[in-house]
Amino acid sequence: MKFCSSCGSQVEWRIPTGDDRERHVCGSCETIHYTNPRIITGCLPIYEDKVLLCKRAIEPRYGYWTLPAGFMENGETTAQGALRESWEEAKASIELHDLYTLFNLPYINQVYLFYRGTLNSLDFGPGVESLEVDLFKEQDIPWDELAFPVVRKTLEHYFHDRREGHYPIRTEDILFRPRRPL
């Protein structure tokens, strides 16, 4: 950030009075511009013994498989965001259940929230951000083609928990950037 969105003056990177970390502060009007983590919300859509995955039509990780998810919008709850993303990416109508996984990724300033959900119908298809959408049994998941570590972890938890018949809320802090195979 170079300029203040309140008055247009140049901003400085400094610790404001009463704070303990550097922030973008306007040198003229003293407005503090906070940069906070982004929240990504999504769904683990389930139909019988299968899960719905979307093949990404956008970067990052174009052509890799993911769960329907994306950045929250202002004015919506995390559950509303998960339903919206499921519709936008997979044209899927979902009945949401409980929050299932929560991942903190401070190295990229993101928080991921995935809800378990049940597909209301098999009438789904790719939205503009997906190349294709399909249902997968556990043994058919394209494990080497998953877009993000949080998707892999959510799927691994789900298949384990399904065998146990119990779905606790899972939380994890991922404090480093996982290496991706070339």
Whether residue 151 has pLDDT greater than 50: yes
Q: Beta strands 69-71 and 94-105: pairing type?
A: unpaired
Rounded to the nearest integer, the mean pLDDT of the chain is: 95
**Is the CB of residue 94 less than 8 Å from the CB of residue 117?**
yes
**Is the CB of residue 63 less than 8 Å from the CB of residue 55?**
yes
Q: Beta strands 38-47 and 69-71: pairing type?
A: antiparallel
Q: Residue 36 and residue 113: Cα distance in Å, rounded? A: 16
pLDDT digit string (tens) for 6-42?
999 999 999 999 999 999 999 999 999 998 999 999 9
Average pLDDT over residues 82-100: 98
Q: Beta strands 110-119 and 94-105: pairing type?
A: antiparallel
CB atoms within 10 A of CB 46: 19
**pLDDT bracket for residue 141 (50, 70, 90):** very high
For the chain, list the domains and their CATH numbers: 1-35 (2.20.70.10), 38-173 (3.90.79.10)
**Is the CB of residue 37 less than 8 Å from the CB of residue 110?**
yes
Instruction: State how far Cα 118 lies from the chain centre.
Output: 18
**Sign (positive or negative) of CA dihedral 62, 35, 43, 137:** positive
Q: Which residues contact 174 (CB under 8 A, 6 or more apart)?
A: 103, 104, 105, 107, 149, 150
Instruction: Give the global pTM.
Output: 0.89
In this prediction, residue 181 carries a pLDDT of 56
**pLDDT bracket for residue 129 (50, 70, 90):** very high
**pLDDT bracket for residue 178 (50, 70, 90):** low
Higher pLDDT, 181 or 98: 98
Strand partners, 146: 65
Q: Residue 92 and residue 32: Cα distance in Å, rounded? A: 41
Stretch (H or E) spanning 87: helix 78-90
Average pLDDT over residues 115-131: 97
Average pLDDT over residues 161-167: 97
In this prediction, residue 182 carries a pLDDT of 45
In this prediction, residue 177 carries a pLDDT of 74
